[in-house]
Structures are given as structure tokens and as C-alpha cells.
Amino acid sequence: MNQVIFISGTPCVGKTTLASELSKRLGANLVRVNELAISNDLVLGIDNKKGYKIIDIPELDVVLGEIIDNFDSDKLLIVEGHLSHLCNGADKVIILRVHPSILEERLAGRKYSDSKIRENLEAEALDVCGAEAYEAYGEDVCEIDVSDLSIDETINLVVDVIFDKKDFPFGVIDFMDWLIG
């Protein structure tokens, strides 16, 4: 098998839930980028204006690269986190997308500030994670609109992507109507 799959996307699109269930179903190893950054002291500080942790991305890339280089080549490695697509080493990058109207409810449910909600909604509408991933990985990026999918439906689609049974190319999902509407 020997595949490294990165799962990324805007906060609250379902990355963590998907990665947990997917790793159980496939017997894959799972690396959570946020935990990796914290456990390796890669948090440089907090952006006081936005409330985000500032992560040392180049050093995160080095630490993740060491994990990937030392990974058992007969297994599947899933790397989950909204910064994962900024690192190297993926065979495929899967970007989860959610319509901003649904995402807004999820972000509010997590008690995000109004400014943080707005920033994340705009990032989702503009497909910031997808564009960044495509810049680094090109055709190895898939985007799946999980707005109306159950976790099982999402898992099935992602499994199909991993095993080359389906493809969801970058640039097909368009939430710009939300932004300009």
C-alpha cells in the first residue's frame, strides 16, 4: 500500500472525525498535525488579533518529514490537519469542503469569535486550503464537498480516492455565490 494521505481543509469541515474513523476502518496510522506541532514545541506564539496559534511551518515540515521517512512502507499513513497541505510528503492531498452556510453553524457551535468565523467562511468560499494544496501538489489534490454527506458516505468516497477508484479534482467545487451573494 505505502501511501501517505494528507487530509486538510478549513476548520470545522470534519477532518478530525473523518481521519479518526478512516484510520480505524483501514488500520492506518494517524498523525494529527496540531498535536505534532504542540508536542514538538513548534508553536511560536499566538496571533492576538486573530486568536490563532502561530506554527513554525518549516520546522513542522521537517518533523513530519522524519515521520514519513521512517514510516513502514507496507502501511497507510493519514496526516490530518488544516496545515498539513503546507508540508511535503503526501502521495495524495484530500481537501474537505463544506458550504459556508453549514460551516458558519459549526464554527459558531465551537464558540469562534465573529471575526474568526468570518475569516474562515471567506477562506472556505475562496478555497484557500485547496489553492495552497494545488500549488504544492497539483493533480494529486482532490476536493470533496461533504456538505450533505454522512461520515460513512464521506469515508466511502475517501477510500475510493485513496485506492484510485474515484477522483474529485481541484477547482470543481464553487462556493463563490455565497461570498458575492
- pLDDT score, position 2: 61
Q: What are phi and psi of 44, to 5 degrees?
A: -85, -20
Could you give the percent of the chain with pLDDT greater than 90? 84
Confidence check: pLDDT of 19 > 70: yes
Confidence check: pLDDT of 1 > 70: no
User: 92-97 and 76-80: which strand pairing?
Assistant: unpaired
- pLDDT score, position 87: 97
* Domain harbouring 112, CATH code: 3.40.50.300
- Binding-site residues from annotation: 14-17, 110
CA distances from 98 to 13, 44, 71, 158 (A): 6, 29, 31, 15
What range does the domain containing 160 cover? 3-180
**Cα–Cα distance measured from residue 13 to residue 84, given in angstroms and rounded to the nearest whole number:** 14
Residue 13 burial (CB count, 10 A):
26
- The candidate with the shortest Cα–Cα distance to 17, out of 113, 96, 114, is 96
109-149: pLDDT as tens digits: 999 889 889 999 999 999 999 999 999 999 999 999 999 99
**Cα 90–Cα 93–Cα 94 angle in degrees, nearest 5:** 150
The model's confidence at residue 92, banded by pLDDT at 50, 70 and 90, is very high
- Binding-site residues from annotation for ATP: 14-17, 110
Helix (H, G, I), strand (E, B) or coil at 155: helix
**Cα–Cα distance measured from residue 120 to residue 32, given in angstroms and rounded to the nearest whole number:** 20
* pTM assigned to the model: 0.94
Helix (H, G, I), strand (E, B) or coil at 8: strand
| Mean pLDDT, range 94-107, rounded to an integer | 97
Confidence check: pLDDT of 78 > 90: yes
User: 92-97 and 3-8: which strand pairing?
Assistant: parallel
The helix or strand, by DSSP H or E, that contains position 46, with its residue range, turns out to be strand 43-47
Distance of CA 123 to the CA centre of its chain: 13
28-68: pLDDT as tens digits: 999 999 999 999 999 998 887 777 788 999 999 999 999 99
Domain count, the chain: 1
